[in-house]
Amino acid sequence: MNQPSARPAIEAALRNPNLMAAAIALSENRLEDAEPILRGHLREAPTDVAAIRMMAELAARVGRLKDSEALLRRALELTPDFGAARANLATILYKQNRFPEALEHLNAVLADGGDNPVQQNLKAAALGRIGGYEEAIALYKELTTRFPDHAKLWMSYGHMLKTVGNQDESVAAYRRALAVEPTLGEVWWSLANLKTTSFSDEDVAAMDKALTSSGLNVEDEYHLHFALGKAMEERSNHDAAFTHYERANTLRNAELKYDPQTFRQKVDRVIAQCTPEFLASRAGQGHVARDPIFILGMPRAGSTLIEQILASHSMVEGTMELPDIPAMALREGNDTDWIDALAGFSAEDLEKLGAEFMERTRIQRKTDKPFFIDKLPNNWNYLAFISLILPNAKIIDARRHPLDCCFSNYRQHFAKGQAFSYDLAHLGQYYADYVRLMAHFDAVAPGSVYRVIHEQLLENPEGEIRSLLEFLGLPFEESCLNFHQNKRAVRTASSEQVRRPINRDGVDQWKPYATHLEPLKRALGPYWKTYPALS
């Protein structure tokens, strides 16, 4: 039987004055005007797939991604040939970090619709998130050849080249982007974020000029300030560097509106929930897998270095910062509902959740090595969740001096997340909450977390690596000392740094800025003085 087509609904929508009014409202971002029109229409015509797709777009605009997904799936159930709805669904799945599913729909769209650069671009991005770097680079190479004046395409191409270690080609791609669009702040920051490149005086002049451009948007402005902070730091002009970092962080913090007290209360709730009795009553539950090695802690604390060392072992596969643990926990509700849900999980629930994690991460594993790494620093927030669903997983806490670690975060712009990092006081409180939660687990589950002190690893790499491998039950291999020779792809901000031998370049970088860091020191309390004896 022939499936119904979306075309009649689309053509009818073009003749419907109400739907046209809703479409205009959406195009002008007047969501409050579009929503009642669409709801009214769908009450009368609940199977109108054109209206369903428009409502899905509205839901996505306000961050209701699950609602948007459900609406798009309903549209495709009614009309499987609705290519625009399928393309929208791929985007929604991508935004939810469900990259294999997004690729499945993108491949279907491209198979039906042929040459579509927008979908090819999204496909390249999705491939990059599951380790399909070779195909992603080939796609970007083709797209930049066809659209040589598209600055953001060159930027994305540069990101992918950086990930696989092709730094010279990455820099060339970023420079091509700037030749097209000199005010594109993210590209300037991408060059700064390579960490191992320097800005010329001509670059500084170009960034200063870009900052004075009329119509410069806030995103470009804060990226430029982050990059100029790096440029001034290279010239040992630390006061000027801090001025740029402070301006960048002020702009970004105003966008994100992070609330440190709400986060502190979440940590309090985890600590209150995870008593010795609570954990003991669930001993032996969860999934039996021993494969995962979680590396967690603060961002910019040396987790990428630990990952690169371990991924150089013949029995350990490095993957990337996997989004699965937060996605699974937050599926239970809002940002704190998962904490309450822990108490209600049965032994069967915990086993199923552990099995789900193993299945979700299978796409990231490219070898048959017996162990694999999930290196998402912020997983420390979900340590209780991990411990219950995967009790045999190994957990490593990467810890770095609080002033070096926090100030490194302050100098860093993150592509997403890390809302705590754009204010010195917020950073200090976040670090203190992290230490507090880890100390709690040291007390209630002693020995369950292995701590790597970054500075000790730099001072005595062989001794520290041997101890770490012993905790993991792995034999020592010389390749772990020669981690910088590993050609694996690295997505994080430390990608270029871990392609060099161990060095102390990042130690005491906070000291030239000491006079500016009083808010950070106050928020840290005693921790910056007592480190590393923090727990």
CB 497 within 8 A of CB 196: yes
When pLDDT is averaged across residues 369-398 and rounded to a whole number, the result is 97
Question: Does residue 327 belong to any structural domain of this protein?
Answer: yes
* Number of domain units in the chain: 1
Domain of 448, CATH number, reads 3.40.50.300
Q: Does position 400 have pLDDT exceeding 80, yes or no?
A: yes
Range scoring the smallest mean pLDDT among 242-256, 326-340, 516-530 = 326-340
Residues 6 or more apart whose CB falls under 8 angstroms from that of 297 comprise: 303, 377, 380, 397, 398, 399, 434
CB 210 within 8 A of CB 248: no
When pLDDT is averaged across residues 237-253 and rounded to a whole number, the result is 98
Burial readout 422-456 (b: 16 or more C-beta within 10 A, e: otherwise): bbbbbbbbbbbbbbbbbebbbebbeeebbbbbbbe
Number of helices and strands (H, E) in the chain? 28, 5
Range scoring the smallest mean pLDDT among 112-126, 177-191, 396-410 = 112-126
Question: Does residue 405 belong to any structural domain of this protein?
Answer: yes
What are all long-range contacts of 164-169, with beta carbons under 8 Å and residues at least 24 apart?
164/133, 164/137, 164/489, 165/487, 165/489, 165/490, 165/495, 165/499, 167/194, 167/196, 167/197, 167/496
Backbone angles phi, psi at 124, to 5 degrees: -60, -45
Question: Does residue 74 belong to any structural domain of this protein?
Answer: no
Q: How far apart are CA 469 and CA 38, in angstroms?
A: 59
Range scoring the smallest mean pLDDT among 143-147, 219-223, 492-496 = 492-496
CB 378 within 8 A of CB 339: no
- Share above pLDDT 90 across residues of the chain, in percent, rounded to a whole number: 80
> Closest Cα partner for 138 from 159, 116, 160?
160
Sheet containing 394-399: which strands, arranged edge to edge? 316-320, 371-374, 292-297, 394-399, 449-453
Q: Does position 313 have pLDDT exceeding 50, yes or no?
A: yes
When pLDDT is averaged across residues 300-306 and rounded to a whole number, the result is 93
pLDDT value at residue 493: 47
Question: Does residue 508 belong to any structural domain of this protein?
Answer: yes
pLDDT in tens, 440-455: 999 999 999 999 999 9
**How does the average pLDDT of the chain come out, rounded?**
92
Question: Does residue 159 belong to any structural domain of this protein?
Answer: no
pLDDT in tens, 318-364: 988 899 999 999 886 566 789 989 999 999 999 999 999 999 999 88
Structure tokens at 5: 């087509």
Number of residues that make up the chain: 535
To 10 degrees, what angle do helices 117-129 and 151-163 make? 20
**What does the CA dihedral 53, 56, 58, 62 come to, rounded to 10 degrees?**
-160
pLDDT in tens, 271-297: 999 999 999 999 999 999 999 999 999
CB 184 within 8 A of CB 177: yes
Query: Which spans in 47-150 are helix H?
Result: 49-61, 65-78, 83-95, 99-113, 117-129, 133-146
Question: Does residue 40 belong to any structural domain of this protein?
Answer: no
pLDDT value at residue 487: 62
Question: Does residue 498 belong to any structural domain of this protein?
Answer: yes
For 337, the domain range is: 260-530
pLDDT value at residue 484: 79
- pTM (2 d.p.): 0.86
When pLDDT is averaged across residues 73-99 and rounded to a whole number, the result is 93
Q: Strands of 354-443 (E only): list them.
A: 371-374, 394-399
- Across 76-85, 248-257, 317-326, which has the greatest mean pLDDT? 248-257
When pLDDT is averaged across residues 485-501 and rounded to a whole number, the result is 55
Count CB neighbours of 323 within 10 A: 18
CB 300 within 8 A of CB 492: no
Q: Strands of 354-512 (E only): list them.
A: 371-374, 394-399, 449-453
> Closest Cα partner for 411 from 254, 523, 248?
248
Residues 6 or more apart whose CB falls under 8 angstroms from that of 352 comprise: none
Q: How far apart are CA 162 and CA 155, in angstroms?
A: 11
pLDDT value at residue 1: 40
What does 350-369 look like in DSSP terms, one character per residue? HHHHHHHHHHHGGGG--S--
- Share above pLDDT 70 across residues of the chain, in percent, rounded to a whole number: 94
Q: Residue 317, SS3?
A: strand
pLDDT value at residue 9: 66
CB 384 within 8 A of CB 438: no
pLDDT value at residue 535: 47
Question: Does residue 503 belong to any structural domain of this protein?
Answer: yes
pLDDT in tens, 174-212: 999 999 999 999 999 999 998 778 999 999 999 999 999
